[in-house]
Amino acid sequence: MKRTVEPGDPVKIGQWQARNNVFCAPLAGYTDFAFRKQCYRFGAGLCFTEMVSAKGLLYNNAATKILLHRYPGERDTAAQLFGSDPQILREACESENLREYEMIDLNMGCPVPKVFKNGEGSALLGDFALAERIIAACKKSGKRVSVKFRIGLKRGDAMASEFAKLCEGAGADMITVHGRTRDMYYAGEPDFAQIAAAKSAVSIPVIANGGIFTRADAQAMLERTGADGVMLARAAMYDPHVFSEVLGLSGEWDVARTVREQIADMLPVYGEKFTLVQMRKMAAFYLRGRRGSAQYRGRLFSCGTLEELDALLDEIFAAEEKGAGGEKCARND
């Protein structure tokens, strides 16, 4: 009987081996280079950029290109692309913008109406022929290619194994299966059976995604699906230290240090205005679940400068040291 994979086991993608099998999902608006740096610091085996428009890259859109910014020394990260034109996607893969990225992830799971209506993201689950052409075209770029997809468009769909076989046949080196249908968005329990069916259908690595917030969640997902690894999404957004927890690593999480390091990394690239807006949002996520966090939330979003944000962090953690809170509540979302 095959041994169940454990969080932290290595996983080989093409000819390359990830440092471990606990990955950070591509999250639009969140997985910028500064956030990925923290996820890697806490042990993530592989991170992905935010969702990047293939058309935007070819049009040299500045806002699109900045999504691909990397921190010094960042190597293994995969770039996630979305689009519906095989030729444009291949040209994007071969463009100078993606020269430093050796792995491309194709988004075939985004449920957002704006993306879906353009025939992109999860809409490709309704057009197997086009999805196959896209994967094959991108594979011709010479890069490693992975595909992230959902188990179907609506509840009751049972297409994960069929789509997984399509991906492998078209040349994909790995697939990530989000165990929910498009109409479920991010709610409801993932369908373990569908992820297991996808795993049984292919020989390439299968990464399971959906509803993983703790080490126990990760172990249960691996046991119930036979997947080769797990991908964390909202859990990482709330707490990048979750990678250490899932991997069974020791050490406490210094939230203030994380926020300040992200600010220091982002400021020279994005400027103060964007950095402040982004880090107010991230700090609110990081403090989520701590006693007393609700009273600080409004004050976080009213900070008008980075200095005010820094001073508020000092106040929050000084209060914790005096025993005014700091315990984490259970996260069931």
Give the DSSP letter of residue 99.
T
How many residues belong to the chain?
333
Give the DSSP letter of residue 111.
-
DSSP 143-203: SEEEEEEES-SSTT---HHHHHHHHHHHT-SEEEEESS-GGGTT-S---HHHHHHHHHH-S
| CA dist., res. 249 & res. 41, Å (int) | 12
Q: Locate the DSSP E strands across the chain.
A: 11-13, 16-18, 22-24, 48-53, 78-82, 103-108, 144-150, 174-178, 206-209, 229-232
Query: What is the CA angle 214-215-216, rounded to 5?
Result: 90
Task: Say if strands 174-178 and 144-150 run parallel, antiparallel, or are unpaired.
Answer: parallel
Angle subtended by helix axes 306-321 and 293-302, to nearest 10: 160
- Residue of 236, 260, 241 whose CA lies nearest to 313: 260
List the catalytic residue out of 24, 47, 93, 110. 110
Which phi-psi region, left, alpha or beta, contains residue 8 (left: φ > 0; alpha: ψ -120 to 50)?
left
| CA dist., res. 165 & res. 332, Å (int) | 33
Burial (Cβ within 10 Å: 0-12, 13-18, ≥19) of residue 44: buried
110 is catalytic: yes
| CA dist., res. 97 & res. 33, Å (int) | 15
Q: Which residues are known to be catalytic?
A: 110
